[in-house]
Each structure stands twice: as structure tokens, then as C-alpha cells.
Structure 1
């Protein structure tokens, strides 16, 4: 019998209750009370406590390592456990797996300095599976990072000997370690980006002008694995300290890519918006211009699809924007709401940045056009100094010069983005319910959750009014569902470029169409290539924007 022919039994009440409790973070006290009510109503087959229902085990030992409370997992066991959650078709022919790591800290409580420092691992299959290799808490940023040593030691053995799984030995390759700049400096035992030799990709000496600036754009001397391990530039390294990751067979420069969530979205895009709204009068938008932009952003709320998670907000809420909102503005909405409002040279400068990021975030374009994206980013950095002054050239802006090189090594930006790790960190933070033993609480909640979930690729049926790009680069809007797998669609047949500078916008999936140049067709679901959304303009004109990032 084929795997997909096996009929799965209907879940029992006990199983459904367990899944419901995990999905909605129901506390054990609330679940205990519910179970007692259900038992009184005749469901005597149910256990009387949440701990029994969820099979919560009292097995986690908290060690004190270098002044940091830590729960360590067996890396091989964690990899095997989470590989087993994938569908058999995904793993049956596996000979090797690629993994990524993330190390970051987050505060646990508003009334305490205690912070959580998990080491998260991602199995880079579809979908990505993210889980902890260790959990640590500290009252401040750890000065002693020996809590990482056990994980690197286990990884070294697995990368050398392979992972025994399902009767075969899988090769394990550590693709990258994704961290924001302060955490990256901490785990690599180097100076912070605020230091004179703080760039982790080149040996340029910074210039102090109230902040550390990196003015050089040409003829940069790049760091290499050899130069890092042999400390060719001692000023870059912390004295008498060696990174635990030096024990692994990885490139100590290329394996620590720039994370575009922090560098580009929360860094450069936020900086540009602050300059346009609060900067010098030479670049700042007037109140009337800001009102126009806010009006456009509010109008876009109606057309932004639900897959984005957040709708556009006005510029007055800029201090509360999240990284996903800056990404949305950078890749999709900024070019629409700023055209005709932002001064011409400032808009062209922004579009060089936006276009480069659209290219680097696209799995297809990143392979073939990353060098062109590098030229755009180089132009952006050079012109930034002219338009906004020399103090524009901070570390985040300088890092753009190294971004395309990371893409040429690791693939599109979402291959090494912190976005999925940050999402997991938010889930983990919600698992703490009191200040008592937060590490054990989190470990227990994670253990309960892993028993419930299978790593099946998300597959949703296209909804009415959804917009998709077709394989022949036409665009369609679903009008109604026909027979199985076929939809009646309004197809936009004559698509023109929305913008021509710095290049034809059709290259990165932004088009201009017209409602008059459409026809109704039956479209097979398999012809729907990528999600998109449509923005209505005057006289039947439409702007069609392809969604490029990984959803």
C-alpha cells in the first residue's frame, strides 16, 4: 500500500485536547480545571491532570556554565527527532542535511533583567524546522561564552562522523550562523561594530565622528578564513580569546553572513524613513507630503494579502514598526507611495536600494543578477554620502557592500535570514508563565509541542480575489473556482514596466496593467507561480507587485 493511501484514524478526544492546549498555550492550572469538569460530565477516559494529558516529563537538568544557567540537549538526538517529523517522501532519499544556527538574546520579563539566550538550529529542508540545541538564562549579556562549547563539541563530532539515521549515515553540513551584529561579535570573540576595526568582512579602519563611520567604498581588503584564524589584524580580535566556532570545519568569515532583517530592514530602511520624516530640512518631507504618503499607506491596507501578517501603518507610527513592516516598505509598498512625493534624486537613490534587495531576496534573480545588485548597492552607499552627508556611512550602510557576496555563497537572502528564528524566539518567550524556573518551563512546553506536530509543507487552496503570476509572466486574479484544481481567472495580458529606473521593473516583478487589457480564462492551479497583489490607480490602471520573499 502506498504511503498516501493509508487511512489515518480519527483523533481521539484526548489527542484533540492535547493539540488544542499546545496550540493556544493553555496553562496547566486551566487545563486541570477543564479536565475535572469533563470527567464529571462522563469523560472518565481522560486523565485528571494536564501533566498526564500532555505527557510532561520531569527530566531537564539545569547546569551552571560560566555563570549562565543552561539546559543542554543532545544535538544528534535533536536532529533525529526533528527529521522524523518530516513526511517520508521528504527524507527517504536524503544523503546529507544542511543546518543553520542562530544565537540571540531576548528579555524574558519587563520587571527583571533576566534574559534568555537559546542556541537555535534550523534543518534547511522544506519547510524549515527550527528547534533549540541549548537554552540559557543570564542576568545580562554573557561575558563568558563557554555555554556554547558543548554544542560546538557535539557538532564537530557529528560533522566529522555523520549522523546515523534510519540505517544510513547522513552528512551534516553547517551552512551558516545567523546573528545580529552584537551577538555575532560576541560568539566570534571580535570587537563590536562600534570599534575602529569592527567590520567583520573587511579590514577597513573606521573613522569616529560621533559614531563609527566606514567611508571607504573601493579597494576593500576582505577578510578570509585564514586571516581570521591567524589573527592577521589583532585589533579586530578580543585579546586572548578564541571563538568556540573555530573548532568547527567552517569558514569563519563566510559562515557568518550579514542578516538582512537587522542590517537592511531595521537598519538602513529605518534610517532612511527617519531621515525623510525627522531629518534635515533638505531631505525631510513636508507635512503635506507626509499626509499624502500616509493616505497611500492606508489605502494599501485593503489590497495587502493576509500572507504578510501585518498591514501598512502610517509614518507617525514609525517607532512601533516591526521588521516585517520595514521589509514590506522596502520591497513592495515604498516604490508606490514614494513615487511623485519624494524628491527625484532621493527617490532614485532609494530605488537603487529597493531594486537590489528585490533581486537578492528572489531565489531566481539572486543566482543570476547578484553582481548587478552589488553595483546598485555600491551606488547607494556612494550617493548616500552625497545626499545625506558623511555621517550616513555607518556600519549597517557599509555592510551593504558585502551583502551580494554572501548571496553568491549561500543563495538568496531568505536562506540566511533571521526572520524565521525571530518568529521562533517569540513563540519561546510566550512559553514562560512565571519567574520561577523559566528554563524548565520553556523546556517542558517545547517537549509538549514536539509530540503534537508533524513538519508537513504548508499547502493552502488559492482563495477568491487572490492574485498570482503565471509561468508565462502574465498576471491573473482568481474570480471563481471551477472543477477541481482549475480556476476562472481575470488575466492581465499586456503588462508594462511600472518603473524604468534603475532598471525595467518587470525584471523584479513589478508591472503596470489595465483592467481594459484583460480576458477571462480557466487556469490550472499548477500554472500559478508566485503570489502577487494588485493596487488600483486612476482610469483602470493597475500596479501589479510580485511577492518575492519566502512566505
Structure 2
């Protein structure tokens, strides 16, 4: 009590000795600034930071700091959610002007006008630049800032916990012989604490009645039941949102990203084909009412188990920027919210705060190549699985009546569950409309009972220009791959006595032999596995089975009419997954999917008419509205969930751990794009980061001199070059637009085959040799494959003759279009629909 009274006006209490000591140190530091060397300045600043942050004369130890941060502490080290400077977690610190000598001038970067950060950096950021950006390490050439960047990059990429990170800092200080770097993880984390307080917003709710209470503050009570609300984050009564604008500003501060986005925004879009989500009718409708520079988001939320021994799960809310080129889009997923706890989140409460975050983004102003761009942000797509779709729309699930969010088919209760059989007159139910759904929401709210399966309003209806029907699309990963395809496979293998039964051990072994002989390209992340392990198959394995393996493996085993029925699904899904989908592809797929659903009932009975089968009727229109299936699938978000789980290093304070490390990654991006770093530092950080796909075309490996041209090779060279070179350099591997191809003679891969491809002339080839002739001209020595298209599956080709390496054709790398899956046992090959999605 006495220690606090000396702060009051007119009070005659003496200043405590520790405070007097701190003040004396500050005066000494000011006097030394003008005369001391750079190393002494670094050391003195470190002493000041340790003095100020200890507060009571002692530095916070890592053991206590780490424990607090893991449970409560990712809010700045105080149990009342205040940061070390006394501000609440949602209040920004004072801003200072940037040190122009330390911040990189960028021709493509964010500007401070219109809500971006730009020169308005926070206090911790300015302290970081002032103390570290221009100070050289003792006996070295790197600045302290560059050393910190390297250490943080290594720690982030190696998934180090804070104790390990502190050990790394101490090791670095030991190697340079001075405490040049922050000595503790706590001091290191201070460099981004204000960024965290500005980015992360915590929200409390009542655990008794689940009423939203608000952001953390003192003496909170539930407005509904009067329950006292603890704000120390130990009760699990909170969730968090992450500032969208701040993430967008950091994203656009990178010159490469800003330039790529600017080019994509200026690119003319095709009229009769779809190559991305921005070509969909739903996107174009919103774009017509906005500006060319507006940005859109695709959002997702889904549960992910963190620990096998706990019922609690993580529900991140993730977004991607649709206008970014695909590689950049999928490598820069935004984290917009985080919910952790047992069961499912209160989706209305969760989404309400997300909608508010989107509304607060306003205008983002950024610069590229001397042009100032003003962008607004809106949500165009919510891509989730079926249970989450019902939750975000506040509607009945698939196992209830009127469970389809795209049409008004009521469903039929059959053998213990709701099915969606085809009507006898084959009349399809009417489609829902966004306005109709809003009317149903109002009616459900007024009457207190669901209306056409709609339980009441959803926060998504407050998103500008958001379509409540097609904006929440059917996801092909869950609907088709883990739904219908898996269902069919189970029917074939487990329905003993049925005409379509193939589950007998000898029959299953025959299918497995065919399946395991297949050598897919290295583009596939998973090799074929036995059908006996199908319960462990991932969605990407079901995709490979559907598009490439199933028809060749089941030919001659599954009765023909069942195989023909399967081909309808295979061909239609392939058409909707192509990198360029034409309007005629959508029409063909729509007809084939409708036929598949109708025939499904006649072949397998009404019991097989599940919700996933019913959703196939709406799959083609979702492509018309939102572009190819791969452009609005949950694959990238499932991968994002896995990346977030890697940020967890302990069992306490899981969401706070994730948020702290996520902010650290954002801080690192900010440094990399604004601080002048040496080429050595950039090279080191790039090497530590996940490898980025090199989209250029270049030869791989070492070559050997080749002079013994065969007669057919001489003829091909003469036709191609007009003369026959005396020598060439032969290689076995080449990367073409980021995809690796190798010659048929390349022996290293045992279970993959990257030598078969399709070319722009419509033919298929085997790559025999890779030559470099003259002044670096690259030629692909290929043998053509004689094959014909399967009449039921457009992308499946049957080989009509054996490959003859003596028939040579020379191609250039620009003529190669895509890899193919070669299946020697069936004498067929299959084209890959697109070269974008892998998992």
C-alpha cells in the first residue's frame, strides 16, 4: 500500500530504492549513448529492459514465465489479461514513426492510408528497430535483428518450445561472448507483444447459460443469469478472433505477394470457361457491384482433435484470399478465429464475432509499382463439411427432415435414418434461394419451430452480398471422396450374396494385386494401399482410387452394369476437377451425375440413397457458381488444421499457445518484408522455411556426353533442327513448370513413374531421353504411345499397341501439358485433371 501512495499528488512518501536505482540507470544509459560503442549500447539497452520488466527489482524467470504463458500467459504475462505496460489485450500501444534508415522502401507494400499499418508501427516494433536493426553483433557482420530473425525462423520451422528457444538464445550469446541477444524467451516475445495485443481479441461467455459476455475486463457478470465471469482463461469460457486487417496488411507488405495480387486483379477473365473461383457466377455477381480491386475470402471451420485422450477439440476459423494466385493463396491461410473446448462451439456466437471482424476491415490501402490500390474485403464462400454447414446456417443436419441446404426435398425415414430417394416420376425438388432461406429464418424465429429445416437466423446473413444457398457450397472432399466413393466400396466388399459382391478373399486379393502394381507419378503424395487398409485411407487416396485406379482394377471383376454406373461418377467428377472447366463440361457432368443418382436407387435400393448421394445432384451447379471443385474444397483447410496442431507443445493453454506462435510467425513475416536484411540472412531463412515450388523449367542432375545417335534419332533431329548435331548432353530428369519428369531409363524410383505425359498435340508419350544441344536448347526425346480413349471415361486411355522406343519424336518442354498415371497391368493410362491440388 505504501509503495503505491508516493504516486499520488501531494504525497510525501519517499521513492523506493529500487525505483531510484532504475531511474539512475536510465540517466546513466542516456549519458553513455553518445560515447559508448555499439556493443555497449546493446548491453545497456538489455539491462534497461530487464529492469523495467521486472518491476520489483528482479527479472521474471523463464520457468515461471513459461508456465504462466502456457496457461494464461499468452495475454502478456498478467492474470487479468493485461500486457506488461498495463494495457488490456484489445488496446493498442502508442505508435511511433518508423526509422526510415532501417525499414526497406518497397515499390509493392502496404500504406498507412485507409486502415493499413505502414509507418504507424507499434512501440515494440519501434523498440526492435531502434535497438537491433543497425547494431552489429560483436566480432561479426550480422546485425542483432538479423540474428533474431534467424533464430526465430529456426525455432518456428523446428517447432521448438519456449524453453528450447531460450536455450538457443543463450547458446548464441555464449558463442558471441556477450549478451547481445535477448537472454530469455520472455524478452524475445516482448518484441511482438503489442502486435499480439492488437491482433488477438479474446471473447468471454458464460459457462452456465452460454451467453456471450464480451471482452475481458474486471468484475464481469453474465447479463442473462448474473453469474460472475472469470477472465483468467482457466475455465475454458472464451474463444478468440484474430484481426483480419492486420493479417492482410502484413501479407501485402511483401513485394512479391503484392505484385502477384495486382497482376491477378488486372488479368482478364475468360468468358466461356472457368479456371478458378473468381470465374464463378456467384463471384462475378458480387464483383459487378464492387470495384476491380476488391478482395474476397473463402472461409472454413472444422473440428480437429488435439489429444487422443481428451474430448476437447480445436475449431479454427480459417480464410484464404481468392484473388491470390493459387500457390500464394494456399501458402498464406489467414487464421481469423480459434475455439477450443469439449463438444462443438456455439456457432452463432462464434460467427457473430467473425462477421463483426469482417465488417471492421473497411478499406485496405496498399501500393504496387507506384500505384495506390484501395481494396474492400467480403466473404464469398463458406466451405465446410455437412455437419458444420448445418451449424453455420442454423439449420437441421443431414439426418433430419429438410436437411439439404440446396433444395426442398424433405427426405424419407427409412430403416432408422433419413434417406433421399428419387421420386417415382423422376421430378427433382425445387431449389432453395437466398431470399427464401431468409424468409424461412424469419418464420422460424416468429413461430419458434423450424421452417423447411431452418431453425432461425444465422450471422452469415449479415455478410454483404453473401448467398445463403450457394455461398455455403457442397464440399467434394467429404461428399464425394469420403462419402459416396467410400460408401460404394463398402457395399461391394461387405454385401455378401449380392450380385455386386467382390469381397471374397480371392477376389479382393486379385483387386489388390492390380492396385499395388500401379506406379503413380511422384505428384501423388501417397502410394496405393491395399483395400484391406481402406479404413485408414485419407481423402487424397480415395481421390486416386476414384479417378485413376478403380475402373482398371475392377474391370472384369465387378459386373458390367455396376462398372458402367461407377464410370458415370468417375467421368463427371473428373470434368468438374479439370484446371479449365468449360460450360459443356458442367452440362455433361450435371447429366451424368443425375443419371448416377437415379441408377443408384435401381441398382442398390432406396437404402443406399444417402445424403451424400443426394448432394451429387447439386455438385455441377456449385461449379457454375464457384468455379472448379478444387478451387473451393476443404483440402487446404484440413492441411491448415494440421499446421496449427503442430504449434501445440504442451497440454495447458492450447489456444493461447497457438495464438502466440501464430503472432510470432506474423511478426517474422513483417520483419522479412520491412527490415533490410543481408543476402546471407535471406538465404538462411529461405532454406529453413518450407520449400516453395520452383515454377520454372530447368534440367535436374548431371549429364553425360551423347554422340551415338541412332538412325531414328538422327531423322528426328534433322526434322526438328534442320541439321544433325555431332554431340548432345543427355540428362535423366527435368522440372517443367514446377513438376518433375524423368526418363524411362531413370532407375532410382522404384514405386513411382514420372515418364508418361500428355502433350499439347493431344497425344501421349513416354520420355526416353532429355537432350541439351547447341547453346542450351532443351529437347525431349519421346516415343509416342498408341492408345484410344475409353468411351465411358474421357481421361482413361487404353493402349492398343506396345511402346516402341525406336519411334522417336522430339518435343520442347512447352509442349508438355500434364503427367499421366500409367497402369501396365491394365494396359491403360489416366490423365491427372489438374496440377494444383495434391492433398
When normalised by structure 2's length, the TM-score is 0.59
SS of the residue 1:72 aligns to: strand
The C-alpha deviation readout for 1:109-147, integer Å capped at 9, x for no partner, is 222222212111111221213111111223211245212
Distance change >3 Å, CA 338–CA 290, structure 1 → 2:
same
Residue by residue over 1:280-301, the C-alpha shift from the partner in whole angstroms, topping out at 9 and shown as x without a partner, is: 421221221110111122112x
Structure 1, 464-473 or 445-454: larger mean CA deviation = 445-454
Name 1:189's counterpart in structure 2: 394
C-alpha displacement of 1:322: 1.0
Range moving further from structure 2, 217-226 or 359-368: 359-368
1:526–1:245: structure 2 CA closer, same or farther, 3 Å change rule? same
- Find 2:530's aligned residue among 314, 324, 336: 314
Report if the CA contact (8 A) 1:22-1:449 is conserved. Answer: yes
Distance of aligned partners of 1:529 and 1:511 in 2 relative to their CA distance in 1, 3 Å threshold: farther
Q: 1:30 to 1:472 in 2, by over 3 A?
A: same
Residue segments in structure 2 that go unaligned for 5+ positions in a row: 1-105, 109-140, 211-236, 266-292, 445-449, 673-689, 696-734, 744-753
Specify which of 627, 630, 633 is matched with residue 417 of structure 1.
633
In the alignment, does 2:331 pair up with 1:331? Answer: no
Q: Which of 255, 259, 265 pairs up with 1:89?
A: 259
Counterparts in 2 of 1:279 and 1:13: CA distance versus 1, 3 Å: farther
Rounded Cα–Cα distance in structure 2 between residues aligned with 1:412 and 1:49: 49
Structure 1, 175-184 or 303-312: larger mean CA deviation: 303-312
Per the alignment, residue 567 of structure 2 pairs with 351
Unaligned 5+ runs, structure 1: none
* SS of equivalent residue, structure 2 residue 249: helix
- Tell me which of 615, 627, 644 is aligned to 1:399: 615
Residue matched to 1:291? 509
What's the secondary structure of 1:473's corresponding residue?
Answer: coil
* Contact persistence 1:360–1:366 (CA under 8 A): no
1:22 aligns with 2:156: yes
Aligned-partner SS, 2:834 = coil
Aligned pairs for 1:368-387 within 5 A: 368-387=584-603
- Check 1:336–1:3 CA distance in 2 against 1; reply closer, same or farther (3 A cut): farther
1:125-181 CA-to-partner distances (Å, cap 9, x unmatched) read: 2121311111122321124521211221232455xx543333321243422100111
Distance 1:451 1:474 in 2: 50
Report SS of the residue matched to 1:252: coil
Q: 1:397 to 1:78 in 2, by over 3 A?
A: same
**DSSP-derived class of the 1:441 partner:** helix
Alignment partner of 1:495 is 2:787: yes
Residue 392 of structure 1 deviates from its aligned partner by 0.5
Tell me which of 366, 375, 381 is aligned to 1:165: 366
Change (3 A) 1:526 1:246: same
Q: CA deviation at 1:516?
A: 2.1
1:314 and 1:448, CA in 2 relative to 1: closer, same or farther beyond 3 A? same
Separation (CA, whole Å) in 1 of partners of 2:489 and 2:600 = 14
Distance 1:442 1:482 in 2: 50
CA contact (8 A) 1:100 1:175 kept: yes
Indicate whether 1:78 and 2:212 are aligned. Answer: no
Q: Give the aligned partner of residue 428 of structure 1.
A: 644
**Change beyond 3 A, Cα 1:449–1:382:** same
Contact residue 406 and residue 432 of structure 2 kept, 8 A:
yes
**1:478 to 1:36, Cα distance in 2 relative to 1, 3 A:** farther
1:473 aligns with 2:788: no
Distance 1:533 1:459, change over 3 A: farther
Rate the CA distance shift 1:431–1:236 in 2: closer, same or farther, 3 A.
Answer: farther
Query: 1:313 deviation in Å?
Result: 0.8
RMSD: 3.0
Structure-2 residue corresponding to 1:211: 417
The answer to whether the Cα contact below 8 Å between 1:121 and 1:130 also exists between their aligned partners in 2 is yes
Question: Does residue 535 of structure 1 match 2:823?
Answer: yes
Checking the alignment, whether the CA contact within 8 Å between 1:56 and 1:444 is kept in structure 2 is no
Give distance in 1, aligned partners of 2:405 and 2:177: 61
Q: Secondary structure in 1 aligned to 2:829?
A: strand
Q: Report the secondary structure of 1:548's partner residue.
A: coil
How far does residue 255 in structure 1 lie from its aligned partner after superposition? Answer: 0.5
* 1:38-77 superposed matches below 5 A: 38-42=172-176, 47-50=182-185, 57=193, 59=197, 60=200, 62-65=202-205, 67=210, 69-77=238-246
- Rounded Cα–Cα distance in structure 2 between residues aligned with 1:19 and 1:478: 40
Alpha-carbon distance between aligned partners in 1 of 2:763 and 2:611, rounded to the nearest angstrom: 40
The whole-number CA distance in structure 2 between the counterparts of 1:136 and 1:262 is 22
1:82-161 map, 5 Å: 82-85=251-254, 86-93=256-263, 94=265, 95-124=293-322, 125-126=324-325, 127=327, 128=329, 129-143=332-346, 145-156=348-359, 158=361
Corresponding residue SS for 2:523:
helix
Secondary structure of the corresponding residue to residue 581 of structure 2? helix
Structure with higher Rg: it is: 2
Cα gap change, 1:469 to 1:459, in 2 (>3 Å): farther
Matched with 2:742 is: 464
Structure 1 distance, partners of 2:142, 2:510, is 54
TM-score by length of 1: 0.88
CA contact (8 A) 1:494 1:517 kept: no
Deviation at 1:51, TM superposition (A): 5.8
Report SS of the residue matched to 1:221. Answer: coil
Rate the CA distance shift 1:457–1:296 in 2: closer, same or farther, 3 A. Answer: same
Distance 1:436 1:386 in 2: 54
Deviation at 1:450, TM superposition (A): 3.5
- 1:420-460 Cα offsets, whole Å, 9 max, x none, are 11110111112111121111111122223345569997325
Task: State the Cα distance separating 1:481 from its structure 2 match.
Answer: 4.1
